[in-house]
């Protein structure tokens, strides 16, 4: 990924001046900038974004949905209130005249960062040396979750694999098994494990590849027997949910339904009533009858927003863990960062532009296009 800062030292100082101001003082400035920029800008807000920022979004949703929507607009600038990999995906899908801006470059994703391209290349070389890969795709098929860098998406695309979301992971696994005998799944071990297990793959036929250990820390015989090789990565938010959280919430709220994101641990998912992507979680609650109660295992901003939205409809929505699970990197984008990015655009300055290299963009797009060919 390339980052085109596009700002002078004076403009950087200006950002510091923004950050010294209270959140609420940005509201009128953001609204005024939106009006002035009009349709030249489309503002995207991921579900996990804080309320003070997402309320200004033209569209809300998960990363792929938002990137696709933005690419279908005529906006010159895509301002993505999300994290790095999301802005990269938006740039991959954007049409030629669009520029993507990430209001704060520190907004990253710990899961995506757990699969570094050099480590993945080393893993592939090691597996190839053991005879598990083949150029024709008949051996090991690589899949990557949307929550990965553009470099990883391109790696997968160039080697015959594809990208998946949490909604279509099962379809991606079915497609991969129709192409080869084994799957290398990046970077979230939990989504991979939960998906494969639901398809009937026993835990004994899954292994975890640790990039910091020789041969991934897996004995050759275990690799030979495995149908799914899971990268040792996870979501720092969803991994915090534990099986005892499910037991505790059921004891405290008899009759409550537990729905969790498939990025949660296998043990948590086994105890839950249902698994679902952010969009699926919202859909389940929307379709539930009045009087329903839900404990939701996902990021706290989304859970709190759902609680407020559905309370007037007679539905109770609470977090699975009372301590709350905050996505700290998503939280980095503040009203101050958003106001700074928008007001710079008014002045003709494109700050924090995210630009994916053309070769990486090509193979990332191949992997994403393959995803569109599979069923959910």
pLDDT exceeds cutoff 90 at 50 = no
Tell me whether residue 194 is in a domain: yes
Q: Is 153 exposed, middle or buried (0-12, 13-18, 19+ CB in 10 A)?
A: buried
Q: Say which CATH number the domain at 31 has.
A: 3.40.50.10800
Structural domains in the chain (count): 3
Tell me whether residue 372 is in a domain: no
- The reply to whether 232 and 244 lie within a common domain is no
Cβ atoms 71, 92 nearer than 8 A: no
| CA-closest candidate to residue 89, choices 64, 113, 106, 112 | 64
- The reply to whether 266 and 342 lie within a common domain is no
pLDDT exceeds cutoff 60 at 269 = yes
* Banded pLDDT at 102 (limits 50, 70, 90): very high
- The reply to whether 155 and 265 lie within a common domain is no
Where do we find the tokens 């015989």? Answer: 221
- The reply to whether 11 and 92 lie within a common domain is yes
Q: Which of 214, 236, 258 is the last residue of a domain?
A: 236
Looking at residue 5, its pLDDT comes to 46
Looking at residue 96, its pLDDT comes to 85
How far is it, in rounded angstroms, from Cα 2 to Cα 247? Answer: 46
Tell me whether residue 305 is in a domain: yes
- The reply to whether 225 and 193 lie within a common domain is yes
Sign of the Cα pseudo-torsion (368, 374, 375, 376, in order) = negative
- The reply to whether 7 and 84 lie within a common domain is yes
Find the mean pLDDT for residues 128-155. 85
User: How high does pLDDT run on average in the chain?
Assistant: 91
Tell me whether residue 366 is in a domain: no
Instruction: Name the token pair of 253.
Output: 């709220």
Instruction: Name the token pair of 346.
Output: 């008014």
pLDDT exceeds cutoff 90 at 132 = no
Tell me whether residue 364 is in a domain: no
- The reply to whether 104 and 119 lie within a common domain is no
Cα 160 to Cα 122, 127, 177, 180: the distances in Å are: 17, 15, 13, 10
Bond before 187 cis per omega within 30 degrees: yes
Q: Which of 268, 298, 319 is the last residue of a domain?
A: 319
- The reply to whether 104 and 121 lie within a common domain is no
Tell me whether residue 196 is in a domain: yes
* pLDDT, tens digit, 9 for 90 and up, residues 176-222: 999 999 999 999 999 999 999 999 999 999 999 999 999 999 999 99
**Beta-bridge partner residues of 316:** 293
Question: Model-level pTM?
Answer: 0.91
pLDDT exceeds cutoff 70 at 376 = no
Query: Over pLDDT 90: what percentage of the chain?
Result: 78
- List the domain range (segments joined by +) for residue 86: 2-108+329-357
- The reply to whether 177 and 83 lie within a common domain is no
- The reply to whether 196 and 139 lie within a common domain is yes
Looking at residue 375, its pLDDT comes to 63
Tell me whether residue 369 is in a domain: no
**Beta-bridge partner residues of 163:** 144
pLDDT exceeds cutoff 80 at 48 = yes
* Banded pLDDT at 24 (limits 50, 70, 90): confident
* pLDDT, tens digit, 9 for 90 and up, residues 230-253: 999 999 889 999 999 999 999 999
* 210 C-beta neighbours (distance < 10 Å), count: 15
How far is it, in rounded angstroms, from Cα 376 to Cα 372? Answer: 9
How far is it, in rounded angstroms, from Cα 138 to Cα 248? Answer: 46
Looking at residue 61, its pLDDT comes to 87
- The reply to whether 123 and 198 lie within a common domain is yes
Cα 125 to Cα 37, 119, 228, 347: the distances in Å are: 49, 10, 17, 48
How far is it, in rounded angstroms, from Cα 220 to Cα 233? Answer: 21
Q: Which of 209, 236, 263 is the last residue of a domain?
A: 236
Checking 210-213 for CB contacts under 8 A at 24+ apart, the result is: 211/115, 211/116, 211/119, 211/120, 211/122, 211/123
Cβ atoms 166, 375 nearer than 8 A: no
How far is it, in rounded angstroms, from Cα 257 to Cα 325? Answer: 19
- The reply to whether 173 and 227 lie within a common domain is yes
Tell me whether residue 375 is in a domain: no
CA 89 to chain centre: 10
| CA-closest candidate to residue 173, choices 187, 192, 146 | 192
């Amino acid at each position: 990924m390339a980052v085109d800062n596009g700002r002078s030292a004076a403009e950087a100082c200006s950002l510091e001046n923004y950050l010294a101001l209270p959140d609420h003082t940005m509201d009128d400035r953001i609204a005024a900038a939106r009006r002035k920029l009009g349709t030249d800008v489309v503002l995207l807000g991921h579900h996990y974004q804080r309320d003070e920022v997402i309320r200004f979004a033209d569209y809300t949703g998960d990363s792929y949905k938002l990137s696709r929507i933005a690419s279908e607009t005529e906006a010159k600038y895509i301002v993505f209130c999300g994290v790095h990999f999301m802005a990269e995906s938006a740039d991959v899908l954007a049409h030629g005249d669009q520029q993507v801006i990430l209001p704060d470059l520190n907004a990253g994703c710990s899961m995506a960062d757990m699969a570094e391209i050099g480590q993945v290349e080393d893993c592939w070389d090691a597996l190839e040396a053991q005879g598990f890969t083949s150029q024709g795709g008949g051996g090991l098929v690589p899949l990557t979750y949307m929550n990965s860098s553009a470099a990883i998406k391109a790696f997968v695309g160039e080697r015959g694999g594809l990208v998946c979301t949490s909604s279509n992971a099962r379809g991606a696994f079915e497609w991969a098994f129709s192409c080869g005998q084994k799957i290398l799944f990046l970077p979230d071990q939990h989504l991979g494990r939960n998906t494969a297990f639901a398809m009937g793959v026993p835990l004994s036929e899954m292994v975890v590849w640790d990039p910091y250990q020789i041969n991934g820390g897996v004995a050759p015989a275990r690799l030979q027997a495995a149908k799914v090789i899971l990268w040792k990565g996870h979501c720092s938010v969803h991994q915090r949910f534990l099986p005892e959280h499910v037991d505790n919430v059921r004891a405290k709220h008899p009759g409550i339904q537990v729905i969790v994101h498939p990025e949660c641990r296998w043990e948590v998912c086994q105890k839950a009533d249902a698994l679902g992507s952010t969009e699926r979680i919202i859909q389940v609650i929307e379709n539930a009858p009045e009087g329903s109660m839900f404990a939701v295992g996902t990021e706290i901003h989304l859970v709190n927003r759902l609680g407020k939205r559905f309370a007037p409809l007679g539905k109770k929505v609470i977090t699975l863990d009372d301590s709350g699970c905050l996505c700290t990197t998503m939280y980095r984008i503040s009203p101050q960062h958003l106001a700074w990015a928008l007001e710079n655009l008014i002045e003709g300055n494109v700050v924090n532009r995210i630009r994916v290299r053309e070769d990486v963009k090509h193979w990332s797009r191949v992997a994403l296009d393959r995803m569109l060919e599979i069923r959910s």
